[in-house]
Amino acid sequence: MHGLAQREGAISSHTRYQKRVVDDERKNLHSSIICYGDADLFICFEPSEALRRGIFASKKTTFVLNSRTIPGIMITANLEEYPPIEKIKEILNGYSDHVYFMNATELSLEHFNSNHYMNLIMLGLAIPTGRIPFIEIQNYEEVIKEWLRNADENIKALHLGIDEGKKIINTRKS
Protein backbone atom coordinates (compact mmCIF):
# COMPACT_ATOMS: atom_id res chain seq x y z
CA MET A 1 0.00 0.00 0.00
CA HIS A 2 1.29 3.39 -0.94
CA GLY A 3 2.71 5.73 1.67
CA LEU A 4 6.04 7.17 0.55
CA ALA A 5 8.08 5.16 3.04
CA GLN A 6 11.30 6.29 1.41
CA ARG A 7 10.28 9.87 2.25
CA GLU A 8 9.65 9.00 5.93
CA GLY A 9 5.94 8.41 5.26
CA ALA A 10 3.83 5.75 6.95
CA ILE A 11 3.28 2.63 4.88
CA SER A 12 1.51 -0.65 5.38
CA SER A 13 1.33 -3.80 3.27
CA HIS A 14 -1.53 -6.26 3.51
CA THR A 15 -1.02 -9.96 2.82
CA ARG A 16 -4.01 -12.25 2.41
CA TYR A 17 -4.12 -15.84 1.25
CA GLN A 18 -6.36 -18.87 1.32
CA LYS A 19 -5.25 -22.47 0.98
CA ARG A 20 -7.32 -23.26 -2.08
CA VAL A 21 -9.94 -21.56 -4.21
CA VAL A 22 -13.46 -22.92 -3.63
CA ASP A 23 -16.16 -23.40 -6.27
CA ASP A 24 -18.61 -20.93 -4.74
CA GLU A 25 -16.96 -17.72 -5.94
CA ARG A 26 -18.71 -15.65 -3.31
CA LYS A 27 -16.74 -17.49 -0.60
CA ASN A 28 -13.27 -16.71 -1.97
CA LEU A 29 -11.00 -13.81 -1.11
CA HIS A 30 -11.61 -10.95 -3.55
CA SER A 31 -10.06 -7.89 -1.98
CA SER A 32 -6.33 -7.37 -1.63
CA ILE A 33 -7.05 -5.24 1.43
CA ILE A 34 -8.04 -6.60 4.84
CA CYS A 35 -11.40 -5.63 6.31
CA TYR A 36 -11.52 -3.53 9.50
CA GLY A 37 -10.94 -5.76 12.54
CA ASP A 38 -9.96 -8.76 10.44
CA ALA A 39 -6.14 -8.92 10.64
CA ASP A 40 -4.65 -12.04 12.26
CA LEU A 41 -1.14 -10.70 12.57
CA PHE A 42 0.48 -7.26 12.73
CA ILE A 43 4.21 -7.06 11.98
CA CYS A 44 5.19 -3.54 13.02
CA PHE A 45 8.60 -2.18 12.12
CA GLU A 46 7.96 0.82 14.38
CA PRO A 47 5.77 0.85 17.53
CA SER A 48 3.41 3.74 16.76
CA GLU A 49 2.60 2.16 13.38
CA ALA A 50 0.59 -0.50 15.22
CA LEU A 51 -1.76 2.24 16.39
CA ARG A 52 -1.88 3.96 13.01
CA ARG A 53 -3.25 0.78 11.37
CA GLY A 54 -5.19 -0.26 14.47
CA ILE A 55 -8.52 -0.15 12.64
CA PHE A 56 -7.59 -3.49 11.06
CA ALA A 57 -7.03 -5.17 14.46
CA SER A 58 -9.35 -6.98 16.84
CA LYS A 59 -9.19 -9.44 19.74
CA LYS A 60 -7.91 -12.16 17.38
CA THR A 61 -4.86 -10.12 16.37
CA THR A 62 -1.30 -10.97 17.39
CA PHE A 63 1.15 -8.04 17.38
CA VAL A 64 4.90 -8.28 16.91
CA LEU A 65 6.70 -4.95 17.16
CA ASN A 66 10.19 -3.60 16.61
CA SER A 67 10.73 -1.47 19.71
CA ARG A 68 13.03 1.02 17.96
CA THR A 69 11.04 4.26 17.59
CA ILE A 70 11.23 6.59 14.61
CA PRO A 71 9.72 9.70 16.16
CA GLY A 72 9.26 11.85 13.06
CA ILE A 73 10.23 15.48 12.62
CA MET A 74 7.25 16.91 14.51
CA ILE A 75 8.28 14.99 17.64
CA THR A 76 11.91 16.09 17.30
CA ALA A 77 10.73 19.68 16.86
CA ASN A 78 8.76 19.25 20.12
CA LEU A 79 5.54 20.21 18.35
CA GLU A 80 3.90 16.80 18.95
CA GLU A 81 4.09 14.06 21.57
CA TYR A 82 5.20 10.50 20.90
CA PRO A 83 3.04 8.25 23.10
CA PRO A 84 5.04 6.44 25.81
CA ILE A 85 5.78 2.80 24.93
CA GLU A 86 3.84 1.75 28.04
CA LYS A 87 0.76 3.53 26.65
CA ILE A 88 1.16 1.79 23.27
CA LYS A 89 1.38 -1.56 25.10
CA GLU A 90 -1.72 -0.75 27.11
CA ILE A 91 -3.73 0.12 23.99
CA LEU A 92 -2.60 -3.03 22.17
CA ASN A 93 -3.39 -5.16 25.22
CA GLY A 94 -6.89 -3.79 24.86
CA TYR A 95 -7.04 -5.95 21.73
CA SER A 96 -5.25 -9.08 22.90
CA ASP A 97 -2.58 -10.53 25.18
CA HIS A 98 -0.46 -11.45 22.19
CA VAL A 99 1.78 -8.39 22.00
CA TYR A 100 5.51 -9.03 21.55
CA PHE A 101 8.21 -6.37 21.40
CA MET A 102 11.78 -6.94 20.26
CA ASN A 103 14.54 -4.46 19.46
CA ALA A 104 15.17 -5.81 16.00
CA THR A 105 17.10 -2.75 14.78
CA GLU A 106 19.56 -3.13 17.65
CA LEU A 107 19.92 -6.86 16.90
CA SER A 108 20.51 -6.05 13.24
CA LEU A 109 23.19 -3.48 14.06
CA GLU A 110 24.79 -5.79 16.62
CA HIS A 111 24.92 -8.90 14.38
CA PHE A 112 25.25 -7.43 10.90
CA ASN A 113 26.67 -3.93 11.47
CA SER A 114 23.71 -2.55 9.47
CA ASN A 115 20.05 -1.77 10.13
CA HIS A 116 19.05 -3.46 6.86
CA TYR A 117 18.29 -6.86 8.39
CA MET A 118 15.65 -5.59 10.80
CA ASN A 119 12.78 -6.68 8.55
CA LEU A 120 13.90 -10.31 8.27
CA ILE A 121 14.51 -10.40 12.02
CA MET A 122 10.95 -9.14 12.52
CA LEU A 123 9.57 -11.80 10.18
CA GLY A 124 11.54 -14.31 12.28
CA LEU A 125 9.80 -13.05 15.41
CA ALA A 126 6.40 -13.45 13.73
CA ILE A 127 6.94 -17.11 12.78
CA PRO A 128 6.94 -18.68 16.28
CA THR A 129 3.66 -16.90 17.09
CA GLY A 130 2.09 -19.55 14.85
CA ARG A 131 -0.06 -16.98 13.05
CA ILE A 132 1.36 -17.57 9.55
CA PRO A 133 -0.20 -20.87 8.42
CA PHE A 134 0.82 -23.18 5.54
CA ILE A 135 4.35 -21.76 5.13
CA GLU A 136 7.35 -23.81 6.28
CA ILE A 137 10.68 -22.27 7.24
CA GLN A 138 12.30 -23.83 4.17
CA ASN A 139 9.77 -21.96 2.00
CA TYR A 140 11.02 -18.66 3.41
CA GLU A 141 14.60 -19.75 2.78
CA GLU A 142 13.82 -20.66 -0.84
CA VAL A 143 12.22 -17.26 -1.48
CA ILE A 144 15.12 -15.42 0.18
CA LYS A 145 17.63 -17.33 -1.96
CA GLU A 146 15.67 -16.61 -5.12
CA TRP A 147 14.89 -12.95 -4.59
CA LEU A 148 17.24 -11.23 -2.15
CA ARG A 149 20.78 -10.06 -2.35
CA ASN A 150 23.03 -11.32 0.48
CA ALA A 151 20.80 -14.39 0.86
CA ASP A 152 23.03 -16.03 3.46
CA GLU A 153 22.96 -12.98 5.72
CA ASN A 154 19.19 -12.65 5.29
CA ILE A 155 18.63 -16.31 6.20
CA LYS A 156 20.83 -15.79 9.25
CA ALA A 157 18.72 -12.77 10.18
CA LEU A 158 15.52 -14.79 9.79
CA HIS A 159 16.83 -17.51 12.13
CA LEU A 160 18.12 -14.93 14.58
CA GLY A 161 14.59 -13.53 14.69
CA ILE A 162 13.06 -16.98 15.12
CA ASP A 163 15.44 -17.92 17.96
CA GLU A 164 15.09 -14.61 19.78
CA GLY A 165 11.34 -14.68 19.11
CA LYS A 166 10.95 -18.14 20.65
CA LYS A 167 12.68 -16.87 23.80
CA ILE A 168 10.35 -13.88 24.04
CA ILE A 169 7.20 -15.91 23.42
CA ASN A 170 8.21 -18.77 25.76
CA THR A 171 9.08 -16.34 28.58
CA ARG A 172 5.55 -14.99 28.28
CA LYS A 173 4.01 -18.48 28.43
CA SER A 174 5.96 -19.61 31.50
Among 19, 20, 23, 25, binds other proteins (CB under 8 A): 25
- The interaxial angle of helices 104-112 and 151-173, nearest 10 deg, is 140
Stretch that binds other proteins, among 45-53, 96-104, 127-135, 164-172 (CB under 8 A): 45-53
Query: Residue 10 interacts with other proteins (CB under 8 A)?
Result: yes
Smallest distance from other proteins to CB 70, Å: 8
Closest among 159, 47, 174 to 101, alpha carbons compared: 47
Euclidean distance between CA atoms 21 and 24, whole angstroms:
9
Q: Is 85 an interacting residue with respect to other proteins (CB under 8 A)?
A: no
Q: Which of 18, 22, 93, 114 binds other proteins (CB under 8 A)?
A: 114
| Window contacting other proteins (CB under 8 A); options: 67-75, 129-137, 152-160, 162-170 | 67-75
In the complex, least distance from residue 67 CB atom to other proteins, rounded to whole angstroms: 15
Round to whole Å and give the CA distance between 106 and 122.
Answer: 12
Question: Is residue 81 a contact point for other proteins (CB under 8 A)?
Answer: yes
Residues 6 or more apart from 33 whose CB is under 8 A from it?
A: 1, 14
Q: How far apart are CA 124 and CA 105, in angstroms?
A: 13
Give the nearest distance from C-beta 163 to other proteins in angstroms: 23
- Which of 41, 72, 111, 166 is the binder for other proteins (CB under 8 A)? 72
Q: Please report whether residue 31 would count as binding other proteins according to CB under 8 A.
A: yes
Q: What backbone torsions phi and psi does residue 65 show, to the nearest 5 degrees?
A: -130, 140
Convert 147-173 into a string of H (helix), E (strand) and C (coil): HCCCHHHHHHHHHHHHHHHHHHHHHHH
Residues at the interface with other proteins (CB under 8 A): 1-4, 6-10, 25-27, 29-38, 48-49, 51-52, 54-58, 70-83, 87, 91, 94-95, 105, 109, 114-115, 146-147, 149
